[in-house]
Structure 1
Amino acid sequence: MQNAPQADFAFHALAAALPVGDAPPEWIAIFPQVGRIDTRDGRTYDVDAAALIARFKADGVAVPIDVNHSTHHAARTGARADAVGWINELRVEGGALQGKVEWLAEGKSLLAAKSYRFISPDFFHTSEGVTTWLRSVALVTAPALGGQKALAAASSQESKMEKLAAALGVTAGANEAALLTALNAGFVPKAVHDEAVSKLSASETKLKDIEDANRKARVDALIEGALKEKKILPAEKDHYAQLCATDSGFESVKALLAAKSPALTKSGLDEKKEPDGDAAALSALTPTQLSAKAKKMVADGEAEDFLSAMIALSDRLSSGAA
């Protein structure tokens, strides 16, 4: 890596250019530098060289070098992914994390033909972006982006970023920082969301109670009016109230009662006053006297007054009045 021309150093891609020469390099730069690294799409990682080297020694397993992250992609489908080289040792040299490579025939051939010129690591990291395990290293033509627990090639990663940007209404090509800003701007804390839902539910309940009260008042007024006008009997009150349970039912009953004629005619007794001879006076008459008075009142056209007086007299007698 130290012998590579500066123009071939692809720092922001998390990929390093391979040295130019006839023989394949024994040592390659897996990470151009340790510590903080910023990717081309705005993500940030902390390359913990000590942790990566310790994990490598603890595992005791050589890290494969493949082509275009075929090891990662094959793991999803169970497809074959041959290594073109093996990393048997890690070290920090010149500020970079390097790996000592045992190149296989295919790897040597690819490098000799200059078919691939860049190295891209596939690694695991914590949620804070601190590297924990170097899984594999790939030969790539276009730099691959290091990132998620399962590394994605540049094309697929960019596609995901573009879809996320579109969903958030952010300009295509926005970096991770811009996407996070847009996401946080539209984020609603759960407590606030729950409070809003609770208030909405309470408002809907209150509105329904008001609507129910208004409906009942309208129904009661309609039924009571029909009773007063003698269009329905008291025994029919509950039946008509049930028919008014919906808006359409209420309108139907309203139209029916408007066209309905009174079932009972008024007797006129409600507006009649007791005759001058009240019930007490009639109660003092003998049957003969009462009969004579009745005939006289009929002859004088006062039959209704006499009937009213007799009803009042009957009420007084039934209630025990003297």
Structure 2
Amino acid sequence: MPSAGRAINALTLSLPEGDSAPEWVEVIPAGTFKGRDGRGPWFSNVPAILQSFAADQAAGIDPVVDYNHQTCGPGTKAEAAGWIKQLEVRDGAIWARVEWVAEGAEKVIAKKYRYLSPVFDFDATGRIVKLISVAIVNVPNLFLRALNSMETSVDLLKQLIELLGLDPAADAAAVIEAIKTLQSASADTTTAMNSLRQVTGAAADADLKAVTSSIMTGFVPKAEYERVANSLRQLQAGTAEAEIDKQLDDAVAAGKIALTSRGFYKAMCSADMSAFQDFIKTAPVVVKPGTDATSRAMNSQQEKPHDNPLLANAKARAASH
């Protein structure tokens, strides 16, 4: 059973001889048949062939009759020997009415070309679904080899279209564009993989599975991360608290601040430790080291009652009453 594709120069049919180029020629045999090189078997899906021909006609397209399948060869000069203007079914065979170009008619009449070779598309079951063109040929074997190579290219193009998931009607340009897109995506993937390898410390040639393993190994669940972060914050807060207490203890011990003012200066330390340290460097001693009394308080304790004029006046007023 053949795979879907296009048959080129696989079948030859004799041109009728006469004094004029034949108007009607058989282009696809009736029933099931094989090509002269063994390809096939094929059989006509007559409704599909006629429908595709009618669609081309409606679009102003006539299948060409060319020389040696030149229209099937890329970059080859391809002149028309005639144009197919009508299809007809005769006992299961497909016949075509040809409108010959003068030069083509002359070559047929002079027997410079003696055979017809149709080009047709077929599906995976071998059913012929579309007549593409017809060539007048003399069956050269070397040319057949080149056409067979082209047929392989046609099959390859269809396979690429299927693999790329493109529309079955896509052409070679669409296939090339899809391949370029895949190449670009592949380059982006390679760049991302290299970045992941570096971040995770994976080997330079590590595959996706190995990189994924590295990521999972180094992954820390969110709950665990938050627990550790909270513990760190508490530890940092405790360290800061201890540093503030040490600065205040040193300042009290040096007599730079009173023990009763510790709360005020603790707030100052918490807000700006550097400002507190600068203040302590230049602050005078206001408290006798080892006590919590201010210098003013100590001086007041040393004063005698009669030396205090305010107290003396108060006592004098009380005595006069």
What TM-score comes out, normalization by structure 2 length? Answer: 0.40
Which protein shows a greater Rg?
Answer: 2
